[in-house]
Amino acid sequence: MNVAGGPPLPRAASLADVPALGDLLEAVGAEGLWIATEPPLDRRRFAFHIRSFIERESHLCLVVPDGEGALLGELTARPEGPRGAAIGLCVALHARHGGIGSTLFQACIDWARARSLSYLALKVFPHNTAARALYAKFGFVEGAPELRSIPRRNGDLWDVIPMSLAL
């Protein structure tokens, strides 16, 4: 926990976190509502992909551990264009609405400002009203919906809303 008794503080992910990162992504993906990833997660491909976020100075991978080897949340950021970063957020079902997303977002914004980035960007499903409210709380603004842009395993195509924050 942090000194004020709030949610646990995020830390930089390590390669030892890769299995727990996969577990978190697969669990949230299995809910079928909040992220584009759907199970089963190709663990080998995921491990290769997430290593770039952990090992590259230009990328960010933050985790909030629960103290027992599992993760309460994670946030990744990768370069987007010359002055921005695209971010993704994932919070475990039992840890939502407890400040985990906010602590991850604040740490990401601090990271981006320390690198003199101009903006952060993300995409969110329109029905994910809790996430949209979190992002708006930090000053993210919504863009025009990208209609039928995310394919689902069942053949559906879901809309997404791009959101960005000028830094």
| Closest by Cα among 111, 89, 114 to 100 | 89
User: What's the pLDDT tens digit per position in 23-73?
Assistant: 999 999 999 999 999 999 999 999 999 999 999 999 999 999 998 889 999
Please indicate, yes or no, if residue 95 is contained in any of the structural domains.
yes
Residue 151 CB contacts under 8 Å (≥ 6 apart), including other chains? 157
Host domain of residue 35: 11-166
The verdict on pTM exceeding 0.75 is yes
Q: What's the mean pLDDT when you consider all of the chain?
A: 95
Please indicate, yes or no, if residue 5 is contained in any of the structural domains.
no
Domain total in the chain: 1
Work out the average pLDDT over 72-92.
97
What CATH number is associated with residue 132? 3.40.630.30
Say if CB 32 and CB 38 are below 8 A apart. Answer: yes
Give the whole-angstrom CA distance, residue 123 versus residue 100: 19
In which band, very low, low, confident or very high, does the pLDDT at 119 lie, cut at 50, 70 and 90? very high
